[in-house]
A and B are shown apart, each in its own frame.
Chain A
Amino acid sequence: MPAFATDRASCGTAWRKRRVKPFVTSAASAGGLRIAAVNLHAAEAGILPGMPLADARALAPGLEVAAADPLGDSEQLTKLAAWCGNFSPWTAPESVGSGPDGAGIWLDATGCAHLFGGEEDLLRELVQRVQRLGFGVRAALADTAGAAWAVARFAPLKDGERVTIVPPGATAAALAPLPMAGLRLPGPVIEGLAVLGLRRIADLMTMPRAPLVARFGGSVTDRLDRALGQMNEAISPLVPEVPHRERLGLAEPIGTRPALEAALAHLLTDLCARLAREHSGARRLDFALFRIDGQVAHVRIGTSRPVREPKHLARLFAEHLDNVEVGEGIEVLTLTADSVEALAADQLEMPGPALDHALATAGVADLVDRLTNRLGADAVLRLVERPSHVPERAGVTVAAARHGEETPIVLPPGRGERPLRLFPTPFPIDAVAPVPDGPPVMFRWRRVLHRVARAEGPERIAPEWWRTSLSWTTPWEETTRDYYRVEDESGRRFWVYREGLYPLGYEPVRKEDEDEADTSAEAIAPAMPRWFVHGLFA
């Protein structure tokens, strides 16, 4: 795409002027605004990237100017590369450059061409579609990435033909007449070669190598070798190659929900048949919908265990299909299993309790998936008990979808010693306890006064000293809790505790000498224990 940046800035009907007139983007640099990228008309007027903006205005009086946005360009190129994923699973964006290099996208067409009726048809289709998105484009296919890069940019246009295919084995012949810039060399190196009279790639091919390496380092010969396929070149693709992927291309764009469901069912059937052959199941699936306007919508689901049942997976997707933005229609759909785990062939149990149990377990796993995909992983939980005396640690919840990582501990049936309900944070209450180490006789909780009819306790629970997370500076006496099971007069049962112990020799305040006691209490200022409600019994 020789004018990617300016094409991007002139997309849309509002910017028609930018497409028919000289148009440049400018960026601030030392010495004022300079041209960053030019469109075709500006290039014809003789405007070059790097030129001061004032000079450009002198060359083309009606010049359209916009601020350069390299970040936006780079983002758009990545999006476009992702969109090209409907031609080949292996795509990668090039870095956005300015000047004659423009911007480019790598595609590995190996094994994809037959889907489009041959290499040439694939390229024509690609070029046509990218042009429709508003980008001027040329495409080349060659044995090596370097040769394709050079041919796409520097091969002369024959009769406006935008597609060039270098036949296998003809790489050297195709490269020979191209200028030195086709080797992706830095500007100073190209200038240096030009000084020596080496302007075409053909000039390099016949040169002895040692002087070249001595003068320019290894880069020149390396680039040449890569372009000719004598040296390997690694390009990292945008999407890592995934083996479990199904693609569905459509003749007419679709947008309705039943059509999407039918397409999904088709893809799921193919994918699950393949998973069954490989004795595996999907844990994570990505349903990508390629829209005709160049956007890609994704629907992702996860399961709590490997699954390869089309029906179950379709149900999980069904929750999210309503939220998909279909835009003007969807033409290509792909379904990818990002995460695949081994899943042995289903073995049916003999009819009986074992079969019932197996079916129930499978049904619950399906249910967990459905609930989790709709409500979120932190909304569907399993209760887990841990061996700890501290109430908050003894009973916790973990996400059901992640369950199975820890083995549950088996404990004897309870005998009513723990409440059915526990508050996440204990509520402070005002309690009156006549005996320092005794239960409260009354307490006020949520503005209601509860008179204690019966109490059981205390059960002393001290912090776990082996846990370093607890502050060592807090004295043991202050963090120790005495729990009581209390029942108020109306029969409601609470789990209350006193945090800390009453200081030694503490006398409970009597009504008659309250004033006196107040002053003395302030004088000594002992840390008075506090009362909390921690849970509710049934």
Chain B
Amino acid sequence: MPQAIASLEALRTRIRAIEAPGEYRVASMGTPEIDAALPWGGLPRGCLHEIAGTPGDAGAAIGFAAALVGRLHAAHEDARQVLWCVRGDTDHEVGALYAPGLRSFGLSPQQVLLVRAATTAQVLWAMEEGLRAGGLAAVVAEVDDVDFSTSRRLQLAAEARGVTALLIVPALSAVSGAVTRWQLSSRGGEGEALAPRRADSALHPKWSVELTRCRGGAPAAWEVEWNHASNDFAVVAGVRDRSRELRHGLAQAAG
């Protein structure tokens, strides 16, 4: 019996080791609320993060990825390159990465190296090459689908050279090797319906951000707004405000 207890203890230790968040250097997200929810005290660098959009709303996931890369740049304080891998035939679906738009996320277009591959396999190959090459601040890839072994491979490659990897997928799969997984959807802002043109857009990107899985941490959700001027997030609502959806649902039921 004591032997059984001892082996149980050993098993518990192993599970704790697996569940441990791991040691990473971090980049602050710019808001204490989100930083506190992550066990590392910020966004861990040199590991894989998975970001999913909602169907018909790929813009939020891509924007969140651009914002995270912008945060990495702000934290790293250097001009290392970012590799952004997409499939070339998605230009008509979600549009091509646009240099003047990147500047709104604290990224200089000169820092971005764009790969337009023909197939998803090539996108993943380019991503892994970039992670293994080192010398990059981050590698971002937009793919249709990724299986567990591929995401595990990418996570190991990211850890090996300390390059942050961001994987944008249409929907989160059941299992993944990613350290954190995020679910994104767009949120409408408040304010006047029609505003005159301003140099400083009042249409800040506003998203509902759900941290669905985080190694060594608990799931959480926020409503955040990206501030172009200060290049950081601002949490608008800590817990997800469901009243709006509820209202919408009621209105639909009534109409």
Please give the residue numbers on chain A whose beta carbons come within 8 Å of chain B beta carbons, in ascending order.
353, 356-357, 359-364, 366-368, 370-371, 374-375, 378-385, 391, 394-397, 400, 408, 411-425, 438-439, 448, 453-459, 485, 487-493, 535-538
Whether B112 lies near A383 (C-beta < 8 A) is yes
Whether B95 lies near A421 (C-beta < 8 A) is yes
Q: How many A-B residue pairs have CB under 8 A?
A: 229
* CB 8 Å contact bits of B61-88 with A (1 = contact, 0 = none): 0111011000000000010110100001
Q: Which 8 residue pairs of A and B lie closest in terms of their CB atoms, listed nearest first?
A: A538-B63, A363-B135, A421-B95, A414-B103, A414-B104, A395-B99, A491-B186, A416-B201
Whether B129 lies near A370 (C-beta < 8 A) is yes
Query: Which bucket holds chain B's interface residue count?
Result: 35 or more
Known contacts A417-B199, A454-B191, A454-B193; decide if A537 and B59 are in contact (CB<8 Å): yes
Neighbour of B112 across the interface among A382, A423, A489, A536, CB < 8 A: A382
Apart from the given pairs A367-B135, A454-B195, A537-B63, 19 other A-B contacts in the complex at a CB distance below 8 Å: A360-B135, A366-B133, A370-B133, A379-B88, A383-B114, A384-B110, A400-B113, A408-B110, A416-B201, A420-B97, A420-B104, A421-B94, A439-B194, A448-B56, A454-B193, A455-B195, A456-B195, A538-B62, A538-B63
Bound Cα distance from A420 to B66, whole angstroms: 9
Whether A423 lies near B95 (C-beta < 8 A) is yes
Whether B129 lies near A367 (C-beta < 8 A) is yes
Whether A456 lies near B198 (C-beta < 8 A) is yes
Give A380's nearest chain B residue, CB to CB.
B115
Please give the residue numbers on chain B whose beta carbons come within 8 Å of chain A beta carbons, in ascending order.
56-57, 59-60, 62-64, 66-67, 78, 80-81, 83, 88, 91-92, 94-106, 109-110, 112-118, 122, 125-126, 129-130, 133-136, 185-189, 191-207, 226, 228-229, 231
Known contacts A454-B192, A538-B62; decide if A414 and B101 are in contact (CB<8 Å): yes
Known contacts A382-B112, A454-B191, A538-B62; decide if A422 and B95 are in contact (CB<8 Å): yes
* A385 CB → nearest B CB, Å: 5
Whether B193 lies near A457 (C-beta < 8 A) is no
Q: Which residues of A contact B98 (CB under 8 A)?
A: 391, 395, 418-422, 535
Bound Cα distance from A491 to B81, whole angstroms: 31
The A interface, classified by DSSP as helix, strand, loop or mixed, is mixed
Q: Which residues of B contact A488 (CB under 8 A)?
A: 188
Q: Which residues of A contact B115 (CB under 8 A)?
A: 371, 375, 379-381
| A-B CB contact pairs (8 Å), 23 listed | A367-B129, A371-B126, A375-B126, A379-B117, A391-B98, A397-B96, A408-B109, A415-B200, A418-B104, A424-B92, A424-B96, A454-B195, A457-B197, A459-B197, A487-B189, A487-B203, A488-B188, A491-B187, A491-B188, A535-B101, A537-B59, A537-B101, A538-B226
Q: Which residues of B contact A383 (CB under 8 A)?
A: 97, 99, 102, 109-110, 112, 114
* B87 CB → nearest A CB, Å: 10
Known contacts A422-B95, A537-B63; decide if A416 and B104 are in contact (CB<8 Å): yes
Bound Cα distance from A380 to B122, whole angstroms: 12
Q: Which residues of A contact B83 (CB under 8 A)?
A: 367
Give B63's nearest chain A residue, CB to CB.
A538
Neighbour of B91 across the interface among A366, A412, A424, A439, CB < 8 A: A424
Q: Which residues of B contact A493 (CB under 8 A)?
A: 59, 186, 203, 205
Give B79's nearest chain A residue, CB to CB.
A357
* A161 CB → nearest B CB, Å: 59
Q: Which residues of A contact B80 (CB under 8 A)?
A: 360
Q: Which residues of B contact A487 (CB under 8 A)?
A: 188-189, 203
Bound Cα distance from A411 to B101, whole angstroms: 12
Whether B113 lies near A382 (C-beta < 8 A) is yes
Bound Cα distance from A425 to B91, whole angstroms: 10
Whether A489 lies near B188 (C-beta < 8 A) is yes
Bound Cα distance from A138 to B92, whole angstroms: 64
Whether B114 lies near A490 (C-beta < 8 A) is no
Known contacts A364-B133, A439-B194; decide if A456 and B201 are in contact (CB<8 Å): yes
